[in-house]
Structure formats: C-alpha cells, structure tokens
C-alpha cells in the first residue's frame, strides 16, 4: 500500500533531523525511510546534504522554516507533506507547509539541532570546502593516498580547485615538512619548461649565464604539483618519465644525473586517455602517472556546497576589505545555486568578492547580484553557441527556486513579483509562460516568479493539465 494513502501511520521518531553549521547552513543528519520513499531519495546519500539541494521545491522554503523555528526557541516541529498530482515521486514536487493548515497530507516531524565541532570538521578539509558526497569522496581519497609515494592525477574542470587537493595531499603526507612547489606546464615555453623542471648548466643555451637548480632538485624529499600536465610537450614527457621510473634528473646541458626523491602530483582538465589516443601524450607516461586518481566534481554538481563556500569567502573578504557583512539571504543563495558556474569555485569567489566590495549592508540580498545577472545574460545573447551561454541563460530573472532541468532561454518578466507575496495566476498567465518555455513547467514557473510547486497548485485550481496547455 502507498504510505501516502495511510493517514493512520504513526510517527515514532523524527522523520528529518537537521544540523545548523557554523556557516549557517542547514544540513541533513538523518532522514527516515518513509520520508525518503515519499521524496524518492536514498537515505544513505542524504546525510550531510544541504536542505536547499535535497528539498529545492519545498513550499515554504525549509531553510527559512528551520531558521524561524530555531529563532522561536523550539527544536522540533510538525510539518505536512503532500505530493503533487501528476509527478508524486519527484522531490521538487513535494510541498511543505509548516505550522499551517493550508494543505492536507501526511504529518512528518522535523528536529533541529546546532552542529557539533565534529560535524563542522566534515565540511572543511585543509583549504577544501564542502559537505556534498562528491567532496567527501575527495577528502576520503586524499587521506587514503597521502600515505603513498605513488604519483597522483587530479582531474576536474578549470577553477574547481585542483591545486588545493595537491596541497592537501602534501599536508597529509609524511612529506609535509619537506618542500612543496607548483608549476603550470602551459605557462612557459618548451625550452624554459625543461630548464625549470630539470635545471640547466651554465652556458647550456643563450642566456644561461649560471647553473640553475630545477623544480625537481628544489623539491627533493617533498611534492611537486604539475598543473595542466596533459599539455606538456612530448620531448619533456620523456624526461619526466625517467624521473618517475628511477628518480634520475639530468640538467639541460649536463651529462651527469642527480638522484632525487620527489612525489609528483599532476592535474589536467582534458582527458588524458583522449590525449594518448591522439598521440599528444605518451602512453607509457600515462600508465606511470595514473596510478592513483582523484576527480573534483564541478560546482554545478554540488550546489549544496555553495552556502558553505559563500560563508568561507564572506569571512575572507570581510577581513580583507574591513567589512562586516554577516550573510547572504536565502533568496541570494537560491540565485547562486541556479547558475551552472562554468568557472566553478574560482568564478564564485570572484563574483562574491565583487559583491562584497560593493555592499554596505550587513546582509547580501539577491538584488546585489542584479548587475552581474544582466552582464551574464548580455554575454549569453552574444555567445549563443557556447556552454557559457546556457549558464547565463539559466539565471532566473524572477529569482525563483532553481530547477535541475531548466536551462532554457525564457523571456524575462516585465515586472518582478515580491518574494513571499500571495499571487493569483490566471489561465492566460500560465498558458503564455508555458508556451514561451516550450512546454517546460519548471522554466514556466521561473518566468512567472513562483516556485514550481506553486504553479502545480494553480494548475490544479484551474483544472489544467499538459494536454490542455499544449
């Protein structure tokens, strides 16, 4: 029997236990099996996830509800949960109505707690920030691989934080008291790259007026991070292979070899397998390098980490610019989570630095990002063929809750609705937005300035379905 149709099912323990971190982020501690079944969520993948990621379509916002309950001095609340008619299994279609009788449905119990010191440590590992399952896997692999001297390849998109992973590997290893150095393989010419890596003798080439110790000699006993290693010239790859195999370094212009003990950590944002197939990367070096691999997920795949990262950068820039900005509003966080972030964490950091410099208030609202939103959408109009175009188009003009499947180009509203204002949508409003969104209800809701669950309620009120709208 469907549990949703059984109103007599007793609630013995809290269905949802939430922890509030020092960053002000609400994270899921435990989720009951019955609530997980209603929301189509696997309980083992829910722990540590933020409310905004796990329940993006909750009405009202569960984050706002949690803060209100905690501010009122309570630590537990009963909430009603009701599925939307046409897609009862989808998480974004679950409606929550805390402390009201607006909806009929199953009662669930939510418990609120302040986060412990041990839980806080799970969201930060050296300079890496995140509580998502993807970042917890990165933390696990760094700890696991730190005890080894084998080479490591770190994969991930530009701006995702690959060098931070390399630094964490070094800090966790027994080499932590020894030198650490980083070199971008694409930042200098091929001849200078060899000189920087392996050193050179005096007179080895024009301009070599004295002998030079390369990175391998300078990091003897420590760790060398080689960024963009997939673009290293083939000739240099051969010399690198020798260092990895026997620890022998030969300076440019020298016939002698020097023994070094260096752990090599490489990073690439291009698939090395593809580079091998195209003969741009040596197959023997690939097998020697790719002993251990760590993949950094892009920011768009771990949006629950955005509030944690925002809080981290907030503290950083408050100190740098002598500001006293306390937080981002829930609406501002939802705006940031709606964007695809092609530049990943680096882009997020740059955007927040700009907004914090421009902000005089104690809290950053979504309005503070309006100029940036306009710039990204203008960029999208001039770059229709690229990923950046899709990313910028996905920024919601009406600042509604983000939707994972909404990347369509929806026309902006001529007037924005006030967040939290009760509205009555007409059939013409809904039909026009639906047609402009080309049949995507999530995009239509965003264009109307409402949550998707709210749009479903109006569809039910007006007795409309997709067939009628089509």
- Domain 133-295 and domain 301-469, same fold? Reply is no
CATH number of 133-295: 3.40.50.300
| Local structure of 41: helix, strand or coil | coil
Tokens of 286: 């690939």
Q: How far apart are CA 155 and CA 293, in angstroms?
A: 7
Per-residue b or e along 114-128, where b marks 16 or more CB atoms closer than 10 Å to that residue's CB: ebeeebeebbbbeeb
pTM of the prediction?
Answer: 0.61
- Residue 24's closest CA among 106, 123, 97, 108? 123
> What is the 3 state secondary structure string of 69-90?
HHHCCCCEEEEEEECCCCCCCC
pLDDT per position in the chain (470 positions), as tens? 333 334 444 434 677 877 776 556 677 777 777 777 777 666 656 666 666 667 766 665 677 777 777 666 667 777 766 655 544 444 545 555 444 444 455 666 777 665 543 444 468 888 899 988 899 999 999 999 999 999 999 999 999 999 999 999 999 999 999 999 999 998 888 878 988 999 888 777 777 778 888 899 999 999 999 999 999 999 899 999 999 999 999 888 778 889 999 999 999 988 899 999 999 999 999 999 988 999 999 999 998 899 889 988 988 898 899 988 888 888 888 899 888 899 999 999 999 999 999 988 888 988 899 999 888 888 777 765 454 444 555 554 333 333 333 222 223 322 333 333 345 678 888 888 888 877 777 777 767 766 666 777 788 778 887 778 87
Domain spans in the chain, listed from the N-terminal domain onward = 13-120, 133-295, 301-469
Given the candidates 3.30.70.20, 3.40.50.150, 1.10.8.60, 3.40.50.720, the CATH classification of the domain at 301-469 is 1.10.8.60
- Nearest 5°: CA angle at 202, between 201 and 208? 105
């Amino acid at each position: 029997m469907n549990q949703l149709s059984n109103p007599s099912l007793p609630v013995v323990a809290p269905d949802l236990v939430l922890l509030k971190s020092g960053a002000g982020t609400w994270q899921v501690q435990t989720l009951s099996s019955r609530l997980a079944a209603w929301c189509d969520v696997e309980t083992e993948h829910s722990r540590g996830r933020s409310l905004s990621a796990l329940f993006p379509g909750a009405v009202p916002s569960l984050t706002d509800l949690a803060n209100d309950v905690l501010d009122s001095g309570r630590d537990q609340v009963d909430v009603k949960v009701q599925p939307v008619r046409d897609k009862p299994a989808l998480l974004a279609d679950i409606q929550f109505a805390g402390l009201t009788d607006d909806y009929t449905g199953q009662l669930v119990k939510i418990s609120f707690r302040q986060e412990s010191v041990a839980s806080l440590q799970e969201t930060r590992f050296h300079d890496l920030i995140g509580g998502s399952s993807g970042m917890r896997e990165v933390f696990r692999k760094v700890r696991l691989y730190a005890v080894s001297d084998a080479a490591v390849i770190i994969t991930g998109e530009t701006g995702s934080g690959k060098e931070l992973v390399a630094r964490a590997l070094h800090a966790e290893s027994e080499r932590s008291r020894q030198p650490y150095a980083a070199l971008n393989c694409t930042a200098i010419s091929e001849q200078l790259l060899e000189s920087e890596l392996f050193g050179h003798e005096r007179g080895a080439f024009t301009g070599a007026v004295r002998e030079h110790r390369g990175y391998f000699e300078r990091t003897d006993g420590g760790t060398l991070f080689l960024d963009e290693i997939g673009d290293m010239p083939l000739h240099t790859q051969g010399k690198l292979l020798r260092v990895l195999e026997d620890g022998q370094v030969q300076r440019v212009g020298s016939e002698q070899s020097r023994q070094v003990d260096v752990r090599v950590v490489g990073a690439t944002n291009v698939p090395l397998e593809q580079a091998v197939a195209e003969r741009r990367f040596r197959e023997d070096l690939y097998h020697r390098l790719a002993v251990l691999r760590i993949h950094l997920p892009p920011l768009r795949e771990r949006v629950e980490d955005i509030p944690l990262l925002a809080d981290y950068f907030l503290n950083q820039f408050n100190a740098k610019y002598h500001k006293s900005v306390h937080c981002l509003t829930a609406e501002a966080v939802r705006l940031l989570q709606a964007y695809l972030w092609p530049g990943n964490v680096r882009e997020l950091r740059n955007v927040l630095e700009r907004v914090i410099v421009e902000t005089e208030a104690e809290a950053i609202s979504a309005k503070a990002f309006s100029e940036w939103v306009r710039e990204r959408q203008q960029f999208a109009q001039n770059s229709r063929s690229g990923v950046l175009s899709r990313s910028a188009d996905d920024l919601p003009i009406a600042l509604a809750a983000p939707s994972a499947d909404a990347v369509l180009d929806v026309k902006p509203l001529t007037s924005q609705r006030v967040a939290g204002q009760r509205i009555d949508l007409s059939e013409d409003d809904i039909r026009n937005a639906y047609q402009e969104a080309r049949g995507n209800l999530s995009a239509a809701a965003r264009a109307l300035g409402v949550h998707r669950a709210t749009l479903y309620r109006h569809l039910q009120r007006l007795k409309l379905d997709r067939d009628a709208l089509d």
